[in-house]
Amino acid sequence: MIDKQVAGLSEAVTGIAPGSTVLVSGFGDAGTPIELVEALVGGPGELTIVANNAGFGERGIAALIRERQVRKVICSFPRSPEQYWFERRYLNDEIELELLPQGTLSERIRAAGAGIGAFYTPTAAGTLLAEGKEQREIGGRTQVLEYALGAEVALIKGDQADRWGNLTYRKSARNYAPTMAMAAQRTIAQVREVVPLGQLDPEAIVTPGIFVDRVVVV
Amino acid sequence: MTAGSPPPAFLSRQQIAALVARDIPDGACVNLGIGMPTRVARYLDVSRDIVLHSENGILGMGPPPPDGEEDADLVDAGKAPVTLVAGGAYVSHSDSFAIVRGGHLDIAILGAYQVSQAGDIANWSLGGAGIPAVGGAMDLTIGARQTWVMLTLEGTADRKKLVGACGYPLTASGAVDRIYTDLGVLVPANPGFAVIELPAGIEVADLQPFSEVPVTLAEELIRA
């Protein structure tokens, strides 16, 4: 019997080892699994966090950075007034940053989920963000070699789930979640509700449960 | 501009946005970058179907909702609340960038620190210390069928934005098709820039103080 639902947040994040790479969905606060991320506070350290941004205010990823549990952030836009915890740790050389163009970040994660080892993209060709990376002429354009970016854990936020882990999403809260769900050894989803198996319209399921390991209602 | 003559009448940011909106054709799929380009949405011709793409996974992004009707799950690339128009749809982030990188956008409209006569654009970094950040700009500039830049020239004679070669870190090479400014519309002409539209009362010579390289009148103007 497949039942991926767990009772609470601490059970949802159990077994995440120090040094893990953690994919965190969300764009701004939309679709960010704040409760799952904050369930890690006081827990494993030396984490590499992969997300669009580097945490806002005191919440989510920012809380982990504040508590010194993050050694590296891989993201696209870590600069804004609210990302002050990242700024403080970064300017103090306490945290490492790998900056990626937003599309490259997404496609590296997708490639990992899809079993693609590496790919070429025209994005960033001839710029600082291609320095140190192989570039090659393909189809008349200079393209940059990028490698798959997989992870031990993905923390994502969906709207509805069932016990097979099938997920729907809500509006632009979807963003990175379907891609990150594919690319982690263990995908943990927080959702608004879990419904009986068969109640989700198959046409509405965006992430099939095959990609999901644990589901918790928040 | 002759010595002692009054300064040209620079267009306002709103007027630049209206010029851009005027030129977006019916049926176009468009991404509006953060900053000046977001203003364009307010001036779009409502009789045209224009599909606004937002990099976080929205097609058919609509205007901000009335106060009190914000939905925290429906935001634009700047994290501000928006709505969805009839015909809109949501996609995953990687599908959103497949749209961007795969050449499906008709126009990407962005701001810039500098644009070169070869159409290079620098708009993500001023170099130096501080937190680096890039977002979707590099993908948009190489992926969209056309890249239009919006920028203001007023006050920039000492730190020119129209350059021979960009001094700031590049976002993309050779990407810019059109530049909408407060003194008219130009295209990179390598060498130099060519003006394709002048607002009333502006002459080509009025733009030269703001460019490192020659600015000339294009043979064909989009508006006489």
What does the pLDDT look like over B152-171, one tens digit per residue? 999 999 999 999 999 999 99
Give the CA angle between residues B190, B184, B187 to the nearest 5°: 20
Note whether B133 contacts A78, CB cutoff 8 Å. yes
For B72, which of A29, A177, A206 is closest by C-beta distance? A29
Interface test with B, best of A92, A105, A127, A167 (most B CBs within 10 A): A127
Contacts of A154 in chain B (CB under 8 A): none
Q: Please tell me the predicted confidence (pLDDT) of residue A23.
A: 99
Residue in chain B lying closest to A122 (CA): B142
Q: Please tell me the predicted confidence (pLDDT) of residue B224.
A: 42
Q: Please tell me the predicted confidence (pLDDT) of residue A190.
A: 98
Q: Please give the sequence-ordered ranges of beta strands (E in DSSP) within B117-206, or none if there are none.
A: 121-122, 146-150, 162-163, 178-181, 184-188, 193-197
Who contacts B114 (Cβ-Cβ below 8 Å, separation ≥6)? B120, B121, B122, B123, B160, B161, B162, B163, B166, B167, B168
Whether residue A106 lies within 8 A of chain B, CB to CB, comes out as yes
Q: Please tell me the predicted confidence (pLDDT) of residue A215.
A: 98
Residue in chain A lying closest to B139 (CA): A123
Kindly tell me the burial class for residue A205, based on how many C-beta atoms sit within 10 Å of its own C-beta (0-12, 13-18, 19 or more): middle
Contacts of B170 in chain A (CB under 8 A): 126-128
pLDDT at B4 over 70: no
Contacts of A76 in chain B (CB under 8 A): 133-136
> Which tokens in the block code for residue B115?
């644009």
Contacts of A104 in chain B (CB under 8 A): 138-139
pLDDT at B6 over 90: no
pLDDT at A205 over 90: yes
d(CA A183, CA A23): 8
* Residue A86 neighbours by CB distance under 10 Å: 27
Who contacts B79 (Cβ-Cβ below 8 Å, separation ≥6)? A27, A28, A29, A30
pLDDT at A153 over 80: yes
**Residues of chain B with pLDDT > 70: what percent?**
97
| Whether residue B191 has a cis bond before it, omega within 30° of 0 | yes
**Residues B82-108: tens digit of each pLDDT:** 999 999 999 999 999 999 999 999 999
> Would you say A173 and A207 are in contact if contact means Cβ atoms under 8 Å apart?
no
For B138, which of A123, A171, A172 is closest by C-beta distance? A123
**SS3 for A52?**
coil
The stretch B9-25 carries a mean pLDDT of 97
Q: Which residues pair with B193 in a beta bridge?
A: B188, B215
Note whether B79 contacts A109, CB cutoff 8 Å. no
DSSP letter at B37?
G
Would you say the ipTM is above 0.95?
yes
Distance from CA of B9 to the nearest CA of A (A): 34
The b-or-e profile of B75-114 (16+ CB within 10 A means b, else e) is bbbbbebbbbbeeeebbbbbbbbbbbbeeebbbbbbbbbb
Whether residue A128 lies within 8 A of chain B, CB to CB, comes out as yes
The stretch B119-133 carries a mean pLDDT of 95
Q: Compute chain A's Rg from CA coordinates.
A: 17
pLDDT at B2 over 70: no
Interface test with A, best of B139, B140, B141, B173 (most A CBs within 10 A): B139
pLDDT at B1 over 60: no
Distance from CA of B50 to the nearest CA of A (A): 19
Contacts of B96 in chain A (CB under 8 A): 106, 175
pLDDT at B218 over 90: yes
- The values of phi and psi at residue B170, to 5°, are -70, 145
> Which tokens in the block code for residue A103?
């599309």
Q: What is the pTM of this model?
A: 0.97
Query: Annotated catalytic, B219?
Result: no
The b-or-e profile of A39-53 (16+ CB within 10 A means b, else e) is bbeeebeebbbbbbb
Residue in chain B lying closest to A86 (CA): B131
> Would you say A55 and A62 are in contact if contact means Cβ atoms under 8 Å apart?
yes
Q: Please tell me the predicted confidence (pLDDT) of residue B7.
A: 79
Distance from CA of A35 to the nearest CA of B (A): 16
* CA contacts within 13 A on the Cβ side of B34: 16
Q: Please tell me the predicted confidence (pLDDT) of residue B221.
A: 76
d(CA B187, CA A159): 46
